[in-house]
Each structure stands twice: as structure tokens, then as C-alpha cells.
Amino acid sequence: MMIESPGQQGLDDFAALYVGHYEQLLRLAVLLVGDMAAAEDVVQEAFIRVHRTIESRSLCNPLAYLRQSVVNLARSELRRRLVRLRHAPRPMPDAASAEEGAYAAISRQEVIIALRRIPARQREAVVLRYWADLPEAEIAGLMGVSVGAVKSYISRGLSRLGPLLEGVS
Amino acid sequence: MTPPPLSPERLAELLDDAVQHVTAQADALDRIRRGVRRRRTAHRAGAVLLAVAVLAGGGSTALALTSSRGPSGLASSASVSGEQRPAAGRTPASAPALSSGIALAPVPAPSADASSDAAAKAAFPAAGQTARWDMDGDGRPDTAAIVPVGNAKTTVSFQLVLHLTRLGAQTVPFTATSATDMPPHGPVIVGAADAAHDGHAELFVQVDAGCCTEFWTIFRLVDSHVYQMSISGQPVRLPVGGSVMANGGFSCDGPDLVTYGYQPRTEASTFLATRAIYRWAAATLVLVSQQQTTIHGPPADPALAKYSGVDCGDLPQYISAG
């Protein structure tokens, strides 16, 4: 798919891109960042960036661009979360986050929890390989590492996830 | 005993199961479109800002965004662009649009001199539109901006830089967990209102934001000095906005600040709603009373509506994200 820019055709293509891929990218982001609210932020920001890009030039492979943005933004989100954890004050006594209840279900899933417990690079490689079903070369491009490194991340990720997911039905 | 290795097929199956129920919210495309529109506006405003900054010859790295419609602003490093916040009825979408961006001016860094002070004042909206910013109570508009401390992309340390017409420059350090490399690009001045009904405007600053909920803190003038308000020794973090499943807000009710919110309980169609009353006491909010109610009904139940939204002077009103 190629999105031409600008014009109505480009906007129609953008809508088609959203319809065709938003949900899958949201799921990818959930697996990478481990919670729904942050995943929505990440994917919506990625779509906004694509839209802004096609306003100025054509995009040959918008899906690849989106995927790359989601992976990059997910990394930023995880970095940001670490900073938050280090510095966050205690919440007010009567004020739980409004999202806590709504999104608690997904955070409690064993698979999501297990993914959170392996290094970020291994998680990216495993999710892109076994959930997004991307070839190793494409994953290498997305992650900005060599194919050999991707193979290594996948192998280590599988080894670490094995015991963590043992007994999960 | 060593567990059997995890097969790729089994892992693929588990990953699929983990996210198969994840679906897009109905208004996700609208949010993206709103985000694009706001980004476009910000881009144009950024160009104007840059031109103004260059013409003013300001060496400062801090920029203030001030609204000509209401009390709101953002300061950030020059490389970060702000976006426009609707005046009212804003749906707190995750799209990074969190500040009113109309007039822009270089704002002096904490160690500002008189010339940069003049530059900041020159670009502030007309007096009639900024009366609500009167923090020091002299009837003249005051200015405020936020300056990151340290690495602008990763820092959680910021300074609120105020120029009060009666009391001069003041700087208040505070912590915000909104990193600047992700929306909303650091803390944002949401607006000001005389929430304590004492003739001085309190300043509300968003210090964190998720998909649907924002967290606001409050700065207040007490005995000629501006402080960040606290509750039980911790900086105030008011949850604002949310979705139909969980929401929060507050109102300025006479001498009190009333916070409220609801969130789902584990039982279906059951929500726990909370209302708490705080009394303003210098730089502290003191809990006077707190009430919790269980509400049975669908997420759209009108009984839940009174536990959401902001009702405080000219601060933005919040509606549910749906």
C-alpha cells in the first residue's frame, strides 16, 4: 500500500489504514508496554505521526512506518515509566487512578506479566516474531540490530518465558 | 525438574489469547484526527513563536504559551511544540493536545533580568483577558511558565517560574512524571481560578497524563510566597477525567475543594464512588470528610455523572472520554 499526499485519496487511504491495522497495532503495543492506556497513547501517537507525514510526502509502506513508530514509542513509554517509578509521589489517600479499575484485567494476565519480566529487547523480538509473525530480517530492521542479534534475543526470550508461563492454560 | 521448553507455536497461541479481547475504542479515529488538527495548529504557532523569539533576541531557552481566551499556558524547551486545548468540554483524549497555544513569548529563566521580564510581559494577552491570572491580588495580570531542570527529554524536575506584578519573580520547584519526550510533553499549565475564594488565583498544573486521566497539582500564594499545595505531606495530584468506566474530577465549593470519582468494582455493573471534602489551610488541603458510595447500574448511569468533571471558575470542564 502506498499513501499519496496530499488530497482526498490520501485521507481515504489513511482511513483504510486505520480500519485495517489499528486494532492489530494496539494489540502489539499492549504486548510491548503491558497496559491498555499506554498502548492506546502509543498507537494513536503513531497514527498522528503518519498522518502528519503524509501531509508533506508520500509514504511507500505506511504499515512499516506505523510499526516502527509503535516500537519506538513503546520504548519511550517504558523509559518514561521507569523514571516515573523512581520519582512518583504516593497517590492522594482517596484518589486511585481512574484507569486502574478499567484496565486492571489486562495487567493481571499471566502472559502480560511474564512479558514484563523479560528484558525489553527480548520481549520486542519475541512478540514481533511469534505474535506479529514477522521474518527475522524485518525484525532486525525494526529493532535496529543485526539478524544474529534478533535470533539471540528470540532464543533467550523463549528460554526465559518457558518457566514463567509454565502451567498457564 | 526442568520444565519442558516453550514451543514457538505454544507461545504464539498464548500471545494471541492475551490480546484477543483488546479492541479499539469507538472514538479512536476521532481522537487521532483531533490530535492531527492540534498538532497542525501547534506547528503553525511554533513557527510564529520562533520568529517572535528571534526578533525579540531572547537568549532564554524557555517559552511560554499563553491563551488569549483563558488562563492556560505551557513552557518547554524551544524544540518542543505545544498544542491547543479547547476552552471547554474537552474530551481528555490521549492525543497530545494539552495546552492553549495562542500567544507565545520568551520567558526568562529563573535567573532572569529586567529586560527579559519586560519581554515576558509584552507578549501576555490584554489585561481584560488575563485578570483571572491575578495571583498576587493587585488587579494586574501575572505570568507563569514551566522550565525543565536538566535533560529536557527525561527530567521529572521542573520549575514553575512566576512573574508576579506586585511581588516580583518567584520560582517553585516541583516534580512531574510527564516526561517531555512523550505526549503531553511535560507538565502543562491548565489554568487558574480563585479556587480558595480568597481573592488570589490558584494555578493548576497538569503533572501527569494517561490515556484518559490527567493529574493536576495546585500552586497557591501564601504570605507573599507561592507554594505547591500538599495533602498529608504529599504534593496534590487531583485525578481529572477518565472514561465511562472510571472518572474523576473536583469542584471549588465555597471554602472547600471537593474531589470525586468512581471506578468499577469487581462485580459487574457496580461502581465505587468517592467524594471527599478538603479545606484550604495555607499551603495544605486538609481532609474534612470523605464518603464512599456503591452504585449499581450501567456505566452510563446518571448517578455516576455527578462524580466526574471539573467545576471551578474558568478551568476547563471535562467530559467523559466515552
Say yes or no for a CB contact (<8 Å) between B22 and A130.
Answer: no
Could you tell me the pLDDT band of residue B81, with boundaries at 50, 70 and 90? very low
Q: 3-state DSSP call for residue B1?
A: coil
| Stretch B53-78: mean pLDDT | 34
Residue partners of B266: CB distance under 8 A and separation at least 6 = none
* pLDDT at residue B80 tops 70: no
Contact B194, B142 (CB under 8 A): no
CATH architecture of A105-169: Orthogonal Bundle (1.10)
In chain A, whose CA is at the least distance from the CA of B14?
Answer: A111
Helices (H), A55-97: 62-87
Q: Write out residues in chain A with pLDDT < 50, as ranges.
A: 5-6, 93, 98-105, 107
**For chain A, which residues make up each domain, given as ranges?**
1-90, 105-169
Residue partners of A70: CB distance under 8 A and separation at least 6 = A25, A28, A29, A32, A42, A43, A46
How many CA within 13 A on the CB side of residue B226? 29
Say yes or no for a CB contact (<8 Å) between B236 and A94.
Answer: no
Write out chain B residues lying below 8 Å of A129, CB-based: 8
Least confident segment among B11-15, B66-70, B225-229, B275-279: B66-70
pLDDT, averaged across chain B: 70
Task: Report the alpha-carbon distance of residue B62 to residue B80 in Å, rounded.
Answer: 10
Task: Report the alpha-carbon distance of residue A44 to residue B29 in Å, rounded.
Answer: 8
Query: Which residue in A49, A80, A87, A124 has the most chain B C-beta atoms within 10 A of its own C-beta, making it the best mutation to test that interface?
Result: A80
Largest Cα–Cα distance of chain B, in whole Å? Answer: 77
Pairing of strands B168-175, B62-66: unpaired
| Per-residue model confidence (pLDDT) at position B181 | 52
Could you tell me the pLDDT band of residue B251, with boundaries at 50, 70 and 90? very high
Write out chain A residues lying below 8 Å of B290, CB-based: 94
Could you tell me the pLDDT band of residue B71, with boundaries at 50, 70 and 90? very low
In chain B, whose CA is at the least distance from the CA of A96?
Answer: B239
Cell of A148: 544474529
For residue range B140-157, list pLDDT tens digits in order. Answer: 888 888 888 877 777 788
In chain B, whose CA is at the least distance from the CA of A17?
Answer: B29
Higher pLDDT, B110 or B244: B244
Contact B216, B232 (CB under 8 A): no
In chain B, whose CA is at the least distance from the CA of A113?
Answer: B18
Task: Provide, rounded to the nearest whole percent, the portion of chain A with pLDDT above 70.
Answer: 78
Contact B18, B10 (CB under 8 A): no
B19-33, B37-51, B67-81, B156-170: which has the highest mean pLDDT?
Answer: B156-170
Higher pLDDT, A10 or B115: A10
CA distances in angstroms from B215 to B31, B48, B177, B192, B285, listed in the order given: 20, 30, 10, 15, 16
* pLDDT at residue B1 tops 80: no
Pairing of strands B214-222, B238-240: antiparallel
* Same fold for the pair A1-90 and A105-169: no
Amino acid at B240: V
Q: 3-state DSSP call for residue B319?
A: coil
**For chain B, which residues make up each domain, given as ranges?**
28-311
Task: Report the alpha-carbon distance of residue B29 to residue B35 in Å, rounded.
Answer: 10
Beta-carbon contacts below 8 Å between A and B: 191
CATH architecture of A1-90: Orthogonal Bundle (1.10)
Nearest CB partner across the interface for A161, out of B11, B234, B246? B11
- Smallest CA–CA distance, residue B18 to chain A, in Å, is 6
Least confident segment among A39-53, B8-22, B63-77, B237-251: B63-77
- Smallest CA–CA distance, residue A95 to chain B, in Å, is 7
| Per-residue model confidence (pLDDT) at position B297 | 83
Could you tell me the pLDDT band of residue B20, with boundaries at 50, 70 and 90? confident
R_g of chain B computed on alpha carbons: 21
Closest Cα to residue B72, out of B46, B103, B50? B103
Task: Report the alpha-carbon distance of residue B35 to residue B41 in Å, rounded.
Answer: 10
In chain B, whose CA is at the least distance from the CA of A50?
Answer: B36
Say yes or no for a CB contact (<8 Å) between A102 and B243.
Answer: yes
Q: Which residue in the block uniquely carries the three cell numbers 450501567?
A: B298
* pLDDT at residue B173 tops 80: yes
Least confident segment among B13-22, B27-36, B304-313: B27-36
Task: Report the alpha-carbon distance of residue B272 to residue B169 in Å, rounded.
Answer: 44
Write out chain B residues lying below 8 Å of A18, CB-based: 28-29, 32
Amino acid at B219: F
Say yes or no for a CB contact (<8 Å) between B22 and A102.
Answer: no
CA distances in angstroms from B177 to A117, B148, B254, B298, B315, listed in the order given: 23, 12, 31, 33, 22
